[in-house]
Each structure stands twice: as structure tokens, then as C-alpha cells.
């Protein structure tokens, strides 16, 4: 499978690149500058220039699936969240529809079902996640929406807890485990149509994704 990873240079998206390559998949990694190409291509990915606020020409056509893991960052403010996290994601969805690329896995956020579940400090971000998740669900794409809790840099455990669609309590999860969940969803067509929250837990990821698949079967 050839997967386009949006948000490939850092954080969870970069871990998704590594997981996909380790599992034998082809990776097209979108980058904003030529300076970011070498590190990804040395790892085995194919880098392609694109910008969520600029040109996406040639970025999407020819892949089998898209993993959207990009974000403007916590320090950029509400305006950048709207431009990048919301409008940029919708532009990629539109490009997928135009190119006939159906499979789409979205990295969202816990509490995106109801932004009022979050603190006042991040409600603008959760509102953007809520809007783009709804747009993706209505797009006609074969989508899976993954909503992790607070992201940590701890080593992955390979074990999680999932809420279908929500968890009773908020929690945290390592970026490594989130990346493994996203790749697991890409590899399983039976997760298409699922939206779920995920935090650290005791259930092996494959078994947790069985639960996810059962919720949409």
C-alpha cells in the first residue's frame, strides 16, 4: 500500500512514516521545504513538496490512502488552527475526492465530539477538530477518525483503551502507540466508518481494533 502522510516531519506523523516503512508500505511524505526532503528519503520515504496553505498540486494522485497527522501547533493561535488544521484538512479531502483516493485516516482529538468537554484554552482547537471530522464523515471518503487523549513522548506499550465513540474519562497516550493505531487502521478496511477515542490501556492494539471493527460491522 502506498500512503501519503500529511504532517510527516515531526511528532505523530513522523512516527507513522516509520511504522509504515517498517511494515513494508510505500510512503509519500508531504513536506513544505526542500530542506526537509533528505531526512525522509534517507529513511526510505518519497518526499513531495506541498503546503496546506498553498499548493497541493501533484501531492495526492497515485496513492492508495492518506494519513492526515498535521497540525499548526499549540503556540500558533486560533487563526492558524482554522487555516491549517481545519481548512488545510478540508483541502486535502477535496484533493482526495478529485483524485479518486478513497481511504483516509484522520488524527483528531479526544473531546472533538463536543468541544465543551475541553478546557476553555483549547476549545477553539476542539471546535476545528469537530468541524473537520464532520466534514470528513460527510465527504464520501472511506474514513476512519482516531481521537487520542493527551499525547506524550513516552515509549509505546502496544496496549490501549478505546471508546466507541467516547471514553468515560480523559487520559493520555504515547505518540508511538497512536502511530501504531493509525497504521493499524490503514491496514484494516473493517475500521472504515469508525470514529473512536483512544488512550493508554491494557488491551493489545490489534484486539482494540477488533472492537473498533465490531462497532461498524
What would the pLDDT profile of 181-208 be if each residue is shown by its tens digit? Answer: 999 999 999 999 999 999 999 999 999 9
| Predicted pLDDT at 40 | 97
pTM score, whole prediction: 0.96
> Which residues lie closer than 8 Å to 45 by C-beta, 6 or more apart?
5, 8, 17, 21, 27, 28, 29
pLDDT beneath 70, residues of the chain: 73-76
Note if 145 is an active site residue. Answer: no
| Predicted pLDDT at 57 | 96
Nearest to 12 by CA among 126, 136, 150, 113: 150
Q: What angle do CA 104, 94, 122 make, to 5 degrees?
A: 70
- 84 and 70 in contact (C-beta within 8 Å)? yes
Q: Which three cell numbers stand for residue 81?
A: 488552527
Q: Give the integer Cα–Cα distance in Å for 199 and 217.
A: 23
Domain residues of the chain, as ranges?
2-216
What would the pLDDT profile of 93-127 be if each residue is shown by its tens digit? Answer: 999 999 999 999 999 999 999 999 888 888 999 99
- 107 and 146 in contact (C-beta within 8 Å)? yes
Active-site residue, from 27, 125, 173, 181: 125
How many CB atoms sit inside 10 A of residue 52's CB? 23
Q: Does 2-216 carry CATH code 3.30.750.24?
A: no
Amino acid at each position: 500500500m502506498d500512503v501519503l502522510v500529511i504532517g510527516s516531519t515531526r511528532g505523530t506523523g513522523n512516527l507513522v512514516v516509520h511504522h509504515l516503512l517498517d511494515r513494508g508500505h510505500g510512503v509519500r511524505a508531504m513536506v513544505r521545504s526542500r530542506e526537509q526532503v533528505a531526512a525522509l528519503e534517507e529513511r526510505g520515504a518519497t518526499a513531495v513538496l506541498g503546503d496546506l496553505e498553498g499548493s497541493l498540486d501533484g501531492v495526492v494522485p497515485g496513492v492508495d490512502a492518506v494519513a492526515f497527522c498535521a497540525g499548526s501547533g499549540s503556540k500558533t493561535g486560533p487563526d492558524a488552527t482554522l487555516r491549517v488544521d481545519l481548512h488545510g484538512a478540508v483541502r486535502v479531502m477535496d484533493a482526495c475526492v478529485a483524485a479518486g483516493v478513497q481511504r483516509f485516516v484522520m488524527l483528531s482529538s479526544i473531546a472533538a465530539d463536543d468541544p465543551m468537554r475541553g478546557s476553555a484554552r483549547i476549545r477553539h482547537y476542539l471546535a476545528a477538530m469537530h468541524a473537520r471530522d464532520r466534514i470528513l464523515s460527510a465527504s464520501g471518503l472511506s474514513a476512519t477518525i482516531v481521537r487520542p487523549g493527551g499525547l506524550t513522548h513516552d515509549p509505546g506499550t502496544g496496549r490501549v483503551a478505546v471508546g466507541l465513540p467516547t471514553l468515560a474519562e480523559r487520559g493520555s497516550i504515547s505518540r508511538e502507540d497512536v502511530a501504531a493505531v493509525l497504521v493499524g487502521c490503514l491496514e484494516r478496511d473493517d475500521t472504515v466508518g469508525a470514529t473512536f477515542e483512544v488512550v493508554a490501556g491494557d488491551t493489545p492494539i490489534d484486539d482494540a481494533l477488533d472492537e473498533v471493527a465490531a462497532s461498524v460491522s
